[in-house]
Amino acid sequence: MAGTDGNFIPANAVISGGRVILDCGHLVAVQIRYGAEADMGAVQLDVNLQNSEGLPASPFTFPIMEPWDAWRADHFAPSQLLDPAVSGPIADPDGDGLSNISEFAHGLDPTVSNSLHSAISCAVVFNSPDQLASLELTYRQRVGGTGLPGINYVADGLTYVVETSKDLMTWTSGSSVVGSVAQRGPESGDTEPITLSIIAGAGGQSAQFVRLRLKL
């Protein structure tokens, strides 16, 4: 069994009532693996699981906890995990204005107060003092995902969508909103910084608002 650090350690298994019950002490398991001696270092495994027909089980690995739940288990005590006001997606137990889902999205610690700018920031870039070049949005996203950054990027079950509005009421997303990727990386831990060029609104509008929408 492996915890959120990804290191596998041996577990005791007992077959009871048609179920295989695993026990690994205090470890909050995120993945389980069977028959992978190569990853266990010097530990010799007794690989002998078979069905009633005597056919051996093939080696396997599979997650038993989604990334969001594994992250929660890594940051909150068991009693806190049962309280959505502390560990739920919109809770903000450290009172820094960033919900837990935002802390997860940007690779922050939900129990340590962070500044908003450590999660997301926006910059206005000028070609010259009177010529606006672009609006740039910078934030950290979880690595290993698929899709276009800011448009439909999905990592660890979380979708990052950049949206703009001129009146804070009607919001638009997609390739008409997000231009080029101005900068990406380097990776650090579970996240990487990314800077997106935001396409300025048409029609000579005087204001443009930008937000990052997170969907779990």
Say whether the peptide bond before residue 78 is cis (omega within 30 degrees of 0).
Answer: no
CB of 91 to Ca ion, least distance (A): 8
Report DSSP letters for 147-197, one per residue: S-TTTTEEETTEEEEEEEESSSSS-EESTTTEEEEEEE---BTTEEEEEEE
The token pair that represents 90 in the structure block:
């919109």
Residue among 92 and 163 whose Cβ is closer to Ca ion: 92
CB of 76 to Ca ion, least distance (A): 12
Residue among 103 and 192 whose Cβ is closer to Ca ion: 103
| Number of shown-chain residues binding Ca ion (CB under 5 A) | 4
CB of 74 to Ca ion, least distance (A): 15
Contacts (CB under 5 A) with Ca ion, residues 77-106 = 92, 94, 96, 98
Any contact of residue 118 with Ca ion (CB under 5 A)?
no
Strand ranges across the sheet with 120-128 = 120-128, 131-142, 191-198, 178-184
Residue among 119 and 198 whose Cβ is closer to Ca ion: 119
CB of 98 to Ca ion, least distance (A): 4
CA–CA separation, 74 and 4 (whole Å): 7
Instruction: Using CB under 5 A, list all residues that contact Ca ion.
Output: 92, 94, 96, 98
